[in-house]
Each structure stands twice: as C-alpha cells, then as structure tokens.
Homo-oligomer: A and B are copies of this chain.
C-alpha cells in the first residue's frame, strides 16, 4: 500500500488513527499505521505527560498530534486572560435555564460548582500552548481539525521538520489550506464523527483530489478494508479513521459510550450543533433531540455552546441519565460490534483491503 502519504512518513500502511487515548495512538503506530493524539481535552501540562508516554512506548515509530484551531470563533478579539470571563458573559440566561431544566427533568444532580474546563483547546489562545508542547516532542504530524491552521503555526511546524495536515469538508477549504502550506489534506465526509461538513465522502474525495496537488486522506465512513480500498479508488492516498478506535481494547472510552456504540446502527447518529456550536456528528439521543425540539432556544456559536454545556455533559456522565449521554461518533459505529486490540484492527483493515483488491482485479480481468 505505497502512496505519497505512506512515503512522507515512512509508514507501512497509510492508515491514520485519530484518538484521544495515548494507548491507541502508540498501538496503531507500532502496528505500521500512524496514531494521531487528539489534544483538545488536555491542558498543556497533561499533553506533555501524554506525549512523553507515547515517546516512551511508540518504539520510534511516527505519530501525530491533532489540535483544534478554528478559523473563526466568538471572542477572538479578547485578551487571553479575560477570554473566559468575557465569553461567560455572552451566554444568555435563557440558555442556562434550558440546560438546567433539561437535566432536572432527567434527574441529573445539580452542579457542584466544579465547572471544570470550559474552553478547551478550541481558541487560538488555548490551542497555541498545546502546539508549543507538541512541537517539543518528536512528532511527525501536526493536524488541525477546523479549517486552515494559522500560517505562523505551519511555519513553526515546518521549521521542526513536522508535516502539517488539516481537515477539509469542501474543495474550497482544501485549496485554502494548501495555500497556507498544509502538506496533507484530510478530506472528511459528512458521515464522519465529530465536526463535519455536508458532503459525503464518496462525493467529496475526488473533488478535493482534483483541487489540490498534495496527498489527500479519505475520512468519514472508513471502518473496514473495503472502505480503505474505496478511499484509494476515489483518489485518496491514505485513510483517516476515528470512530473505530473508540471500542478497541486499549481505548479509555467510558463504558456507557462503548456499550452504546457496540449496540448502535448507522442511523443512530446526527449532525448537531448541540456539543460545540459548530455542526458535529454525535450519537443521536434525547440530548441532541432536545436541542431540535420546539422549545429549544437554539445553540450558541463556538466556543459558547461548549462553555454552556460542558458542566452538564460532565454531570450527565456521572448520572444514571444514560439517555442524555452523547459524544462524537460517525455512521461507521453501525458496523462496530466487537472489541479488539488496536493492532488487530489495523491488520483487519489491511487484510480487508487486500481481499477487496483481489476482488477488484477479478472483476477487471475477467
């Protein structure tokens, strides 16, 4: 499975695995693919710890870090030290009441005041320290999940010999990303989990491949070897996967979420703004339904929505209100029905790809 994306990083298989779990990242890289750690939920100090662990456990194989620097968000004009306070003041009381009432109806305990981290890494001010930590480690790839990364961040990465990837959901996004120096475009279809656009992987990949000269990875709906082969058929030079790592043995996915994924069909997700304010594919349930209901106040723009709901999601996670527990998940969760080691998932993808290629050759040669 030799492509420019494989050669760029010296990978055996151009299979990229996005995960918030360091164990998964290291396991995929050791198996010949490339693990990419999602930094969003970590403070710079925590990220340092995670990356040090990966360095010690990845056997020198390449791995990456994924940050979320949105091209646009509310409060970009505020100084970092006043950012949280100013943003908190922008959340309407009616929205807070809607969340409180929803949780009360489902018997979720009231807030203990420990609001926790509300901003995460999705402003320039909070993502930059993550980038600085990441670039002190021997990472091979820095990926940005929402739009083109700032040009100076691309330069910083390149100065350290680190390649830069960005997620695109339209060909126009991809062109902009390459203009600021991105080395790899992850073209992500609407079926993907987390932040996602409207265009399906099948339709999007050829458009992006035709729009840019750099290697493109196919993302969205990639869960078995047939989908790897399909992604390459569409012109991609590798695949970017996410949801399928939520149920591997190494994953630290909460049991509630893991069980829901194992039981879900591909119709059990929905594209919703109820998590971050930007459209993201989530497990569809009473939480996502509530934000679509007639009495919903509507969602707030990024990063206000997550600031509004972060404590609620934490309390739901600790409660018995499993019907409200949602999380980012792609349509591929409909085919995830068992728990395997990450290494095995990599090998199954490769084996399925080889079988698909044998079948394609037979169709073509007959």
A contact set with B: CB distance below 8 Å: 1-3, 170, 189-191, 197-207, 220-224, 226-227, 229-235, 237, 265-267, 330-332, 334-335, 354, 356-357, 359-361, 363-364, 366
Contact = CB atoms under 8 A, between A and B. Distances in A.
Residue among A220, A231, A265, A266 with the highest chain B CB neighbour number at 10 A: A266
A224 B202 contact: no
Residue among A222, A331, A334 with the highest chain B CB neighbour number at 10 A: A331
A200 B189 contact: yes
Nearest to A222: B202
Contacts of A361: 361
Contacts of A237: 363
Contacts of A170: 265-267
A203 B335 contact: yes
Given A200-B331, A203-B223, 10 more contacts: A1-B364, A3-B363, A199-B331, A200-B220, A202-B220, A202-B230, A203-B221, A206-B226, A207-B334, A207-B335
A313 to B, nearest CB: 24
A236 to B, nearest CB: 10
A104 to B, nearest CB: 27
Contacts of A203: 191, 221, 223, 227, 266, 330-332, 334-335
A267 B201 contact: no
Contacts of A199: 191, 266-267, 331, 334
Nearest to A366: B2
**What 8 pairs between A and B have smallest CB-CB spacing?**
A202-B221, A2-B366, A229-B233, A191-B200, A230-B230, A230-B233, A203-B221, A203-B331
A190 B200 contact: yes
Contacts of A234: 226-227, 229-230
A4 to B, nearest CB: 10
Contacts of A206: 224, 226-227, 335
Contacts of A191: 199-200, 202-203
Residue among A199, A205, A230 with the highest chain B CB neighbour number at 10 A: A230
Contacts of A266: 170, 198-199, 203-204, 207
Contacts of A232: 233, 359-360, 363
Contacts of A197: 267
B221 A200 contact: yes
A360 B189 contact: no
Contacts of A1: 363-364
Contacts of A335: 203, 206-207
Nearest to A237: B363
A32 to B, nearest CB: 15
A197 B191 CA distance: 13
A359 B203 CA distance: 19
A282 to B, nearest CB: 14
Residue among A227, A335, A359 with the highest chain B CB neighbour number at 10 A: A227
A204 B265 CA distance: 11
A364 B3 CA distance: 9
B198 A200 contact: no
Contacts of A265: 170
Nearest to A1: B363
Nearest to A358: B364
Contacts of A331: 198-200, 203
